[in-house]
Chains A and B, each alone.
Chain A
Amino acid sequence: MVALILASLPLAILAATPLLLAVEGELVVQRSGIINLGIEGMLLVAAMSAVLAANASGSTSIGFLGGIAGAALAAILFGIFAITLRADQIVTGTAINLFAVGLTSFVYREVPSLTTAPRAGTDFVMPIAWIALPIVLALLLWSTSFGLRVRACGENPEVVRAAGHSVALHRWLALMIEAILIGLGGAYLSLVLTSGFAENMTAGRGFIALSIVIFGRWKLKGALLGTAIFGLAAALQYALQASNRGLPFHVLLAVPYVVTLLILCGVAGRVRAPDSLGKR
């Protein structure tokens, strides 16, 4: 079993990279008091726009930029409603997800070349996601006055307002940071893990990211740990499947969701969320 876990580790880290980027992005935005349920849709749009850009330019680097641009457009749509118009975040997020599913399926049928993409060369995103970003984001959130203000937006926006800063501006900036990370994650999914877009290829990763943020108690250490555990479980599932231990495929597919559910129940009781999370 230990050997199996060790053997699965590299694949686990690789496969969980888009998930980690999504978790990091959602953590930042939730710290600012916004719960972005539309993360699944953003990831899906990014995966598609990355392939579109990569195919148009022939370069995967441009593809990654395309992913970021797609995620940013979806984020702007979400932000206009959820931040500027202060609409309900859950309903807006759901709408963004439906929007993304409809739009990407539509475009998928119109642009047949989406199924293939140039393969990415050296993987520079994985080390960034697992090493550089956690450090940078932790410093940004906990060691700068900007980070303090972002977190204050999530705990008590009135304080930020009283100090003469714009809550909406800080939430918008947090959302744009999320968009960059989700863009990278979506592009990683469609350019590195596979090369090409498929309908609904995000397969719930965005929703899992939401849960991991809670599991990690809105801290980066927790986010890394949660994603690693989750990635390992997912990789083990493939290993077990390959070794044919007789567990049905679909039962294995459901395992990650059951695990997340148990995590939510087991830990959520003692979790303290940012005070103003999800409030208008």
Chain B
Amino acid sequence: MRRFVVALIAAAVAILLLALSGAAFGHSPRELLALLVEGSIASRFAIEGTLLKSVPLLLTGLAVVVAFRAGVWNIGAEGQFIVGALAALLAARWGVAAALIASMLAGAAWASIATAMRMWRNAPEVLTTILLNFIAIHLLGWCVNGPLQEHEQRYPQTDAIDASLPSIGNLHAGIAIAIVASIVAWWLLYRTAEGLRLRATGFNPFAAKWAGIHVNAQIVRAMAVSGALAGLAGGIELAGVTHRLFERFAAGYGYSGIAVALLANLHPLATILSAAFFGALATGAGELQRTAGISSAVSTFGQAVVMLVLILFSAIEEKRWSR
């Protein structure tokens, strides 16, 4: 309950600061808030938009939850998202199921590059995952300008894939997949011995080692699962929403996943709510850009404020505990 209140405060502070910074540049805070609500939850169309935006956020958020729970710093969900989408595009000719499986495998493989470098060369995954993000971005840029460019060769984008997720109206099955994924993640982390070992590794790797847990194996697995989730997010975004790839396909979903995971206090089920909030914020921010000409990047600003408020709370809390 306490955690929930803290999360609510963090979200409220973010919205408030957003309105205030809008006011600093002469936008009416009230109008700004009204547009945010209107654009995110006030109509059927808006709610659909919010749900669709929440799906990649939920999956990248889960990716971060799994990694952070194991004590590994996967800052690379962005790159895993892109590589997952690329693999899904290539596998789409064999159907949508094949595309999604390919996206998970590719995401897991991309994340595992960082794990391998940590295991064999002692390279910190904080840095390697970030660098792999940039490599993935340029890989995508090369693909959509070169070998995978659309048939007409007019724009830097791929042809649309035939495979598509089953959908009702605009809402695709990825929503269900993402929610099932968070339930499965919760079950695995909190209801299985394997999950306990993973959390123990993250909680205190030395104690875990003395308790007979193979810490490195846990890290390898957590990173692979994390990458698979981020890759799946990319695959679903491709097969459910965009159907084609272009340079700015990832749009920061990977980094946003960190904010989503923190707001959920690294709990897989709470991640559903957290992703819905940030999904609404991003969709509302899109409306701000269309109607009031305010950059939609304010949602990124909101994510940062939420993170900082949460860090502030936990820091205050920890001090009280340790002193």
Give residues in A with beta carbon < 8 Å to B. 35, 37, 77, 81, 85-88, 90-92, 94-99, 101-103, 105-110, 204, 207, 210-211, 214, 248-251, 253-254, 257-258, 260-261, 264-266, 268-269, 271
Contact = CB atoms under 8 A, between A and B. Distances in A.
Nearest to A270: B122
Contacts of A99: 301, 304-305, 308
A110 to B, nearest CB: 4
Contact of B255 (A90, A94, A210, A249): A94
Interface string B297-312: 1111111110110011
Contacts of B75: 90, 94
A257 B127 contact: no
A264 B301 contact: no
B265 interface: no
A90 B73 contact: yes
B145 A106 contact: no
A245 B25 CA distance: 48
Nearest to B21: A106
A255 to B, nearest CB: 9
B214 to A, nearest CB: 22
Interface residues of B, number: 51
Contact of B311 (A37, A85, A204, A254): A85
Interface stretch (B94-102, B134-142, B170-178, B219-227): B134-142
Contacts of B293: 109
Contact of A265 (B117, B252, B303): B117
Contact of B304 (A90, A102, A257, A266): A102
B301 A250 contact: no
A257 B145 contact: no
Given A249-B145, A257-B138, A109 B295 contact: yes
B315 A102 contact: no
B123 interface: yes
A109 B294 CA distance: 7
27 contacts: A81-B311, A85-B311, A85-B312, A86-B319, A90-B73, A92-B308, A98-B300, A98-B304, A102-B297, A102-B299, A102-B304, A106-B298, A106-B301, A204-B134, A249-B142, A250-B141, A250-B145, A254-B138, A257-B131, A257-B134, A257-B138, A261-B117, A261-B128, A264-B121, A264-B124, A268-B121, A269-B121
Q: Top 8 nearest A-B pairs by Cβ distance?
A: A102-B301, A105-B297, A99-B304, A102-B300, A250-B142, A254-B138, A85-B315, A98-B304
Contacts, number: 144
Nearest to B121: A265
A103 B24 CA distance: 12
A88 B310 CA distance: 12
Which label, helix, strand, loop or mixed, suits the secondary structure of the B interface? Answer: helix
B216 interface: no
B92 interface: no
Contacts of B130: 207
B166 interface: no
A105 B299 CA distance: 11
B138 A261 contact: no
Given A87-B315, A98-B255, A268-B121, A248 B298 contact: no
Nearest to B311: A87
Interface of B: 21, 25, 73, 75, 117, 120-124, 126-128, 130-132, 134-135, 138-139, 141-142, 145-146, 252, 255-256, 258-259, 262, 293-295, 297-305, 307-308, 311-312, 314-316, 318-319
B132 A261 contact: yes
Which of A81, A110, A253 is packed against the most chain B CB atoms within 10 Å?
A: A110
Which of B73, B123, B303, B316 is packed against the most chain A CB atoms within 10 Å?
A: B123
A99 B305 CA distance: 7
A248 B146 contact: yes
B131 A101 contact: no
B147 to A, nearest CB: 9
A37 B307 CA distance: 15
A268 B303 CA distance: 33
Contacts of B304: 95-99, 102
Nearest to B73: A90
B304 to A, nearest CB: 4
A87 B131 CA distance: 24
Contacts of B134: 204, 207, 254, 257
Nearest to A89: B126
Given A88-B311, A94-B307, A257-B135, A248 B117 contact: no
Given A109-B295, A264-B121, A271-B122, 15 more contacts: A81-B311, A87-B314, A90-B73, A90-B75, A94-B75, A95-B259, A97-B255, A98-B304, A99-B305, A102-B297, A102-B302, A105-B297, A207-B131, A211-B131, A261-B128
A254 B303 contact: no
A280 B130 CA distance: 22
A81 B312 contact: yes
Contacts of A103: 21, 301
Contacts of B139: 250, 254
A265 B132 CA distance: 13
A184 to B, nearest CB: 24
Which of B21, B139, B301, B302 is packed against the most chain A CB atoms within 10 Å?
A: B301
